[in-house]
C-alpha cells in the first residue's frame, strides 16, 4: 500500500457536483492498493497515518499528531499511485489491485481509521471520477509505502 498524506487546512471531494467528503484541519490521504497488500500492511499504515507527528506545536515544530489537533481524515482511493513509468510516456497500472481486492481493503482502511481516531472518516467514492480540492498546509506532503517498513 502507498499513501500520500497531505496536511491540510481544508479538503473536499466532489463527485457529480455532490460533495462526498469534506474536512478542515487534518489529512487528505490518497491511498493506493496493490494486489500483494495484506491486512498486516493495512494495520501498519493506519497506525502510521494516525500517529504521524507533522502538526505544529506551540514552538512551531512538527510534534503533534492528528488527535493532538482534533484533526480529521479525508480518504481517497487512488490506483494511479502504482503507475509504472519506466517504459514510454503512457503509465501502466498492472501493480494496482483490481476492485475485487482493492474495495474490501479500502473499506477496511475506513473502518480501521475510524476506530483509531474515534471519528468518522470522510471519503470519496471508489472508482468514481472525483474532484479533489485542498489547501495543503505547509506545504506538508509525506509518502508512505508499506513495502519500505524497515
- Which residues are the active-site residues? 80
The backbone region for 129, taken as left when phi is positive above 0, alpha when psi lies in -120 to 50, beta otherwise, is beta
Cβ-contact 80, 91 below 8 angstroms = yes
**112 CB-near residues (< 8 Å, 6+ apart):** 42, 43, 46
Residue ranges of E strands in 1-150: 2-15, 18-23, 26-32, 55-56, 62-64, 72-77, 122-123, 131-145
16, with CB counted inside 10 A (0-12, 13-18, 19+), is: exposed
Amino acid at each position: 500500500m502507498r499513501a500520500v498524506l497531505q496536511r491540510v487546512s481544508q479538503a473536499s471531494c466532489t463527485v457529480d457536483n455532490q460533495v462526498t467528503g469534506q474536512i478542515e484541519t487534518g489529512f487528505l490521504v490518497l491511498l493506493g492498493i496493490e494486489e500483494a497488500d495484506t491486512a498486516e500492511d493495512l494495520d501498519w499504515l493506519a497506525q502510521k497515518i494516525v500517529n504521524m507527528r507533522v502538526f505544529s506545536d506551540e514552538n512551531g515544530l512538527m510534534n503533534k499528531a492528528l488527535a493532538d489537533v482534533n484533526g480529521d481524515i479525508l480518504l481517497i482511493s487512488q490506483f494511479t499511485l502504482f503507475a509504472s513509468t519506466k517504459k514510454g510516456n503512457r503509465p501502466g497500472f498492472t501493480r494496482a489491485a483490481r476492485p475485487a481486492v482493492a474495495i474490501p481493503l479500502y473499506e477496511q482502511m475506513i473502518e480501521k481509521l475510524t476506530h483509531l481516531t474515534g471519528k468518522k472518516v470522510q471519503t470519496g467514492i471508489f472508482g468514481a471520477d472525483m474532484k479533489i480540492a485542498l489547501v495543503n498546509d505547509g506545504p506538508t506532503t509525506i509518502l508512505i509505502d508499506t513495502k519500505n517498513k524497515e
